[in-house]
Amino acid sequence: MKAVMVRISLFVAALAAMCVADVARAQAPLEPTQMSPRTMFYMIWRGVPPSEVRKTNALLALWDDPDFAPVRSAMAAGMLGSSDEKSTQPKLTPEQVQEFAGLLENSFTLGYWSEPTRRNLSTGAAVVDAKTPAWNGMFFVYDRTGKEMLLTKAVLRMRAEEKEAPRLSQVAIAGVQVLKVEGKSGATYWAEHGKYAVSAGEKLVMEDLLSRLDGKVAAGGASLAQSAAYQEAQANLSGGLLEFFLRIPDLKNLANDSKAGMFQMRPLLDAARLDAVHLIGGHVTFEGAKTHVQAAILGEAVPGTPFDIWSAGERAPASLALTPADAVSYTSAQLNFQGIYDTVKRVASAAFPQAQQGNVNLVDAMAQQKLGMPVADALGLLSGEFASMQTSPSLDTANQVYFFGIRKKPETLKLMRTVFSDQITSERNEGDVTFVKISLGGKQATEGVAQWNFFNLAVTPDMILGASKMDTLREALARRGGGTGGAGLASVPQFAAERQQFPEKLIGMSYFDFQKVDWAAARDRWVAESKKSSVVKSMNSSGQSAAVTSVNEWLLQMNPQVISRHLHRSLSVSWKDSKGIHWDQWVE
């Protein structure tokens, strides 16, 4: 039954925009004001939007388009069908898929309850009982109004696919008759109570859920909404048709007596400063033709914490100047390698007692020998910016260009020669550019090393560009300093207008133009590449993967133009401030 609960949850979460019925937006079965303060995670789907929203919103209109039906069917069949390729259960028909998709018209709440900490009354230390089954705090509450028979049909189908029949029994919890389902992996509880279907992996969680749904918890009683973490995240949660929240638990309490191999976990977590990360939260809203996604990782974004992974950000990434106006896609990220290295070193130092601190220095010395320079110096050669740009309408990877920001070209070349060593097959200079050709595949033989799968790099004073084709590399180089490449992506009016909506300094940016893609050519290339890949894999198996075959089937059945019919552009950005990392995306 645990597998049934998880698969129902995944099904409704992955297909939350599939349905076409005209129903008003509903409140979730369990809102944060009703949830237990022990709730660590939740995801809420508040029901299918009204028909006028579905007609005007580009993303929802795409899902509803008949030409997109093969994709909807493939996803639903994957969620509701058996994961066992040898299953005797009949495959879902298109009619059954459409029928089960009707479950998504109603709202649901999926969540996780943290385990209560049991402590020794005399010492206050956490009690760990090896005989106690692992805690399963998952819960699922579904508003089954009008879907009672369909829900029962879906549950029975999933249960029939279980390899071993579970043990079923009736138990009374919070005055409600509950079905207890026991299997090898433990027990789960299921009840159809009033308008709700309720499932939980623990009796304690089930009891709390039923009491709260029946209003037996006093008004104004303790709830998740009163917690500091929820209130910190509230600006990123309110108003979402789809909403999610993950509270980072008190890892110090969880790690009091735990170990990872030879090492105590508590000192490692203290050194990593994971306590500085409080939560992850976000929501999705439909605003006219656009879909808006907002999310954040919140906490204390100060030096010496996991937020050191990201840099302070840049006003205009250097790679943006190399991206042409007709680019299909562009992605950039700003990382802080020195911060990452410092964090790793702190955790490594905490792993060893004071008398063994030399082990950390030994690892550092070995890395220095391998790199040919101190690790900190090697990291200092990278600016932290990584980017990629695609100009091929068919999304051909041969037209993909990769960007790495660097400092000090001579030292960078020295480091490359040390790291790649025998993989470098040629190196030549043209002006201030050094072209390096490397082999990504090789095999040692008696005659030497056979090399293949070549990749081209161009090293300039401030960047490394990479591409599989030399022509693609030269086209990107021609756009340096406003060369012969013409106007760049930053000059496109739509891109410039959307960029102005966000903070000045960004740590990440991603842009995709759906209208510039030749979707028919892209589909044909994907199918051809998957067949080629499956031929290689089948050499060590009985035949082509069923999953690959299924994907190819729905790709060939789908009208590829349906995507550009509805979608135009997508822009997402991220930035860092004292509260954490923020992410904002628009799809239109």
pLDDT of residue 224: 93
In one-letter notation, the amino acid at residue 550 is S
The gap between the terminal CA atoms of the chain, to the nearest Å, is 40
Which tokens in the block code for residue 92?
């879902």
CA separation for the pair 411, 414 (Å, rounded): 5
pLDDT of residue 422: 82
CB atoms within 10 A of CB 581: 22
**DSSP 3-state of 72:** helix
pLDDT of residue 330: 96
In one-letter notation, the amino acid at residue 84 is D
In one-letter notation, the amino acid at residue 308 is D
Query: What is the DSSP-derived secondary structure letter of residue 408?
Result: -
Q: How do beta strands 424-430 and 329-334 pair? A: unpaired
pLDDT of residue 556: 79
What is the sign, positive or negative, of the torsion defined by CA atoms of 494, 60, 109, 158? negative
pLDDT of residue 356: 72
Q: How many CA atoms lie within 13 A of 135 on its CB side?
A: 12
Tokens 């030994």 belong to 362
CA separation for the pair 298, 248 (Å, rounded): 10
Q: Which regions of the chain are under pLDDT 50?
A: 1-25, 83, 85, 119-124, 257, 443-446, 448-450, 536, 539-540, 542-544
pLDDT of residue 486: 59
CA separation for the pair 120, 314 (Å, rounded): 51
pTM confidence score: 0.84
pLDDT of residue 227: 92
**What's the pLDDT tens digit per position in 447-487?**
544 455 789 999 999 999 999 999 999 999 998 876 555 57
CA separation for the pair 530, 543 (Å, rounded): 14
pLDDT of residue 392: 95
In one-letter notation, the amino acid at residue 440 is L
Which helix (H) or strand (E) segment is 104 a member of? Answer: none
CA separation for the pair 281, 584 (Å, rounded): 12
Which tokens in the block code for residue 344?
């790793």
**DSSP 3-state of 70:** helix
